[in-house]
Every structure is written in C-alpha cells, then in structure tokens.
Amino acid sequence: MTFAAVDVIRTKRDGGRLSDEQIDWVVDAYTRGVVADEQMSALAMAIFLNGMTAEETARWTRAMVDSGERLSWSTGRPTVDKHSTGGVGDKITLPLAPLVAACGATVPQLSGRGLGHTGGTLDKLESVPGWRARLSTEEIGAQLASVGAVVCAPTEGLAPADRKLYALRDVTGTVECVPLIASSIMSKKIAEGAGALVLDVKVGSGAFMPDLASARELASALVEIGVEHGLRVSALLTEMSTPLGRAVGNAVEVAESVEVLRGGGPADIVELTLALAREMLALAGVEADPAEVLASGRAYETWRTMIAAQGGDPDAPLPTPAHTHTVTAPRAGVVAGLDARGVGVAAWRLGAGRARKEDPVQAAAGILCLAKPGDRVAAGDPVLELHTDTPERIPAALDALDQALVIADEPPPTRPLVIETIRP
C-alpha cells in the first residue's frame, strides 16, 4: 500500500494515530529515499510534539527492524545483552560482557560511539592497540561460539532505517522524544538477535533523562516494546548525577575496567556490574554467582581472549596523554557534589568525545576523579586530573568544571546506585 507522505505528516500533526500500514510504508519509503529528509523531519517533529501510543511505538520499532537484517546466533548457550542509555564514566559494558560470558551465557554486545558529553564503548575499546570494532556477521558468530562474548559495531545491514533517522533527529531537535528514543534503542537490540535484554536507564544530570519520572517513562516504554517482540526484558533505573568510577574518557576507562576484572576497581563500578550481571543471568536462565566468577579471575581471562579475538593486544600499554592538568580543592571540607554533566563536557572538550559523528577522538584524553562525593579534602588537595594531547583545550574544559565541584562542611546524603527495577 502506498501513501502520500504529507498525509502521514498531517495525521500526526493533528494528533491522530498512525495506522500500522502508514508506519510500515513511511519507514520503508524513508529508508529507500522515497520520503525526503524534510518530510521525515516534519513527521519526527510531529511525533515529538504529539507523541505515539504504545501500539504505534511497537509498530514503528518493528518497521525499523524489518528495514534490514535480523541476526540469529546458535551457540548452544542462552543469549543476553545489556544496553545503557548513556552516562559519564559508564564503562560497565567492558567488565560486564566478559563476566556474563564467563558465567555461561552468550553476550552479543553491538555497541556505539560517543556523542557530546556521554562516552562511547567503541571509542574506549579502540584505545587498546590493534583492537577493531567492525566485524562481519560471520566473524561475530565465530567469536560468540569460541569466546562467548563480542563487543563490536553494528553490521551495516542492521536497522538501516534507524541509522538514517538517528542522524536526522540529531540535527532537527527531535532527540529527546521517548517514542523515538525507545524505538531507536529497541530496533537495534531486537535485530541483533539476543533472546534477553537488560536495560540500564540512567537518571540524573549526566543522563539524557535527568529526572526519575522521564527515566521511568522511557524504561517502561522500552520494556513494553521488548515484550511485544518476544524478548525477556527488564530495566534498571540507575544513578547518574556523579560520574561512575574515577575514570572518565577512553584509555583511562579501559584501565579502570581491567582493574575491576582483576578483582579491584571502584566500589560503584563493581556494584553496578554485579547488579546487571545478576539480572542478565536471571533472564537468560543461567545459574551462576557473578561475584564468585569475578573473584576467580575467569572473567579477566575471558576479557583477554575477547580483546585478542578482535586483533587487540591485552598486554600492550594503553595510550598516555601528552599533557596533564590538576584541579585542586579551593577549601577544606567534604566533596558534596561532582556534577556528571560538567565532568562529561570537560572530558569531551579535552578530546575524549566528539561534537559530530565524523569527528576523531583522542585515546588518551579524559579525567581522573581523584576525589568523589563523600571524600574529605584539604585546601589545595588534587581533586581532578585532566588528560589531553592538546593543551589548548584545557581552559575550555576548566570552564565546564566551574560549577561542577562542590565542597561543603558536611557529607552529602547517600543515594542508591540502583534506584528501582522495572519488569513486565
């Protein structure tokens, strides 16, 4: 069935419900270039302003899945994946994928790159010498069978409608739209072929969803779509007002992830890694204690095998910055706040992130948080260490940090890292 694009736009502009046939047609026609960018821009803005029902969102997701290939993995073990909505210092995929694989599940983790203040998993891993992000479908399948985990870029044939629409939303002010965010995330995750999925929906200043109500709305939409498409799915709402761990950037986050896999690392990274691992294993039906597996060193060995399988050298030194700059405490007291967004923007300005998808990133750029909320400091104590290869970027990074650090007389109230879990 064929429609006029302007009629589809009018339906949503006037607050109407798009039919299944309209959705199927417009997504397919846009992917093929029949619907022009300006027409899809108008429709995206109409959706942004008037929303979509749960049924519309599920159908929109299905249409984006159907725009490309749908992968399937036969490894003899249950498949399970995790997706994070993005945060600052959110390196959890790096220790989590090999940990869950070492517990007995298969983890096909197709990941993305960073944009703006949130980091990208592929950018972090590319700081490992030799490691490559792009694999063929056959290479992914072989690695899942031999290693049990893969972290790589999506294949070209995976949800091409989403790839095209994502780029359009980024330049038309329609990114922050729950139905479009939910369908974008889930179309890729459904197409990648995992049987179960755990969603890490971030809440706070460093997240795309800064308040609990909007994060809960997004998490519920994601879970609904997953159920509609036959996935075993749940979502954890997790705190993102303060950077996760002490490292923010690329190589520094890889180094911190290796610390975790070797039995150390910051307590919050270990806590969230284990919480997500337990949820993933429960959905996959695998009985294992991820804390015991992490302590045994088996997850670290899986990490080494996973990195080597993609051409990386797990023993090679990670890149180090040409320049560092230390931010000190302006007064004695307790660190009462370290704003995640401010730290994320600063790391981005140092070269760890990008403003446009085609921009390069610096492997060595980033920030080490030498003090976190609750830590007591004296005047002049080092609090943040800035890393970059281009020192002319440091003043702009310091501007981003201007209001990020708060020193007070009393420690801040503690906040749970995992706020709540949403299940079908």
The per-residue pLDDT for range 293-330, each reduced to its tens digit, is 999 999 999 999 999 999 999 999 999 999 999 999 99
406 Rama class: left (phi>0) / alpha (psi -120 to 50) / beta: beta
User: What pLDDT digit, counting tens, does each position of 386-414 carry?
Assistant: 999 999 999 999 999 999 999 999 999 98
Whether 90 is covered by a domain: the verdict is: yes
Amino acid letter, residue 372:
K
Clarify whether 66 is annotated catalytic: no
The C-alpha atoms of residue 418 and residue 200 are separated, in whole angstroms, by 9
Mark whether 130 and 39 lie in a shared domain. no
Whether 414 is covered by a domain: the verdict is: no
* φ, ψ at 310 (rounded to 5°): -105, 25
Clarify whether 14 is annotated catalytic: no
Clarify whether 189 is annotated catalytic: no
Mark whether 296 and 190 lie in a shared domain. yes
Which residue is listed with tokens 């997004």? 218
The domain in which residue 9 lies consists of 5-51
Average pLDDT, stretch 375-391?
Answer: 98
Mark whether 290 and 309 lie in a shared domain. yes
Whether 271 is covered by a domain: the verdict is: yes
Select which of 62, 83, 164, 189 is catalytic: 83
Whether 215 is covered by a domain: the verdict is: yes
Clarify whether 136 is annotated catalytic: no
The C-alpha atoms of residue 227 and residue 186 are separated, in whole angstroms, by 11
Mark whether 243 and 105 lie in a shared domain. yes
The C-alpha atoms of residue 297 and residue 161 are separated, in whole angstroms, by 41
Q: Would you place residue 166 in the very low, low, confident or very high pLDDT band (cuts 50, 70, 90)? A: confident
Mark whether 237 and 386 lie in a shared domain. no
Identify the CATH number of the domain in which residue 342 sits: 3.90.1170.30
Clarify whether 331 is annotated catalytic: no
Whether 69 is covered by a domain: the verdict is: no
Per the structure, the count of domains in the chain is: 3
User: What pLDDT digit, counting tens, does each position of 297-307 carry?
Assistant: 999 999 999 99
Mark whether 332 and 242 lie in a shared domain. no
Select which of 184, 187, 241, 257 is catalytic: 184
